[in-house]
Structure 1
């Protein structure tokens, strides 16, 4: 049976976050779909055992084995509309991983949902990321066009780069910045043409390099 309704053209425009749909038969995930421009499109599942999906109560858990560790992502359909959103993501290093900068360092759970407390927020391409109230760490692991909705330095929010791409320091990160400018109320920092960070509604003087750290 399907985990949601069968209309493959569900519009995710009401979701600020990326949406997914799972076909669940006999308690197992047999197909995965990802919303793209309002259309659900099939998403391949690696059949070599490196990527698996499992049903855990009302959630779906994706486990992907990568070099030097495993990434675990949880999805939930909180409003019962058949579309699942990412709830959390966690990296677990493999035993004996080399002590270099080419894998993630932070191993706590990253949240995709804001709260009134201090959160570690996953920043991912294709969706606006929000931390809510509290001192939030926005953890960046993708080289993509990223958007952060409510960065607030007065609440001690911070940007943490945990990319596994060999960054060694904030100065090293600065060397990749090609442009920083405002479009309306939004600060846009470009790292070439394919990577950017947009801080939505952050006024001048409300963020500095003191709010940035590099983990890997």
Structure 2
């Protein structure tokens, strides 16, 4: 039996009847993670990301981020970090057009840890946390670089409630997706790290706030 990577409680093992991949589902916080024997190596992971060509020509992709900015970014934000930005074209550019300063970090495309020694009003991480082997540790690191009253905005699809729906879910077919959350998981993370969930959309977007309200 594996121990949950989020809350250290027991998990149950489930197997995808189609791919035979093994997943571990937490009985406490609902986090689900792929067994490590099915992880792809970094070379294959990078090759997979290189196939992504999201740009300003991808109108639906741009609209997704425009809506994210309109609906979820609080007022009075000045400094931001796009953590796991990929090639870092669309979202940082849109934020900069709004007058925000946006630093970029990605382990493959912008590997310099520009956030070291800095604190931000807002850290955004879109379609990143489902790729992480140790998401709680990454989250802990991020909030060290967040001002009191600052925000973390995560985009990662909430997993279905039951195994049948989970194994039909398109999101698990991406070979680089290894960890899956729902609102209960994020509520546990918020409690563990002293954060408040101030907004979510019941689907894939969660806004956390650190410390006192500004």
Shorter-chain TM-score bucket reads under 0.3
Q: TM-score by structure 2 length?
A: 0.28
Higher share of residues assigned strand: 1
Which structure has the higher relative contact order (CA within 8 Å, separation 6+)?
A: 2
Larger Rg: 1
Higher share of residues assigned helix: 2
Q: TM-score by structure 1 length?
A: 0.27
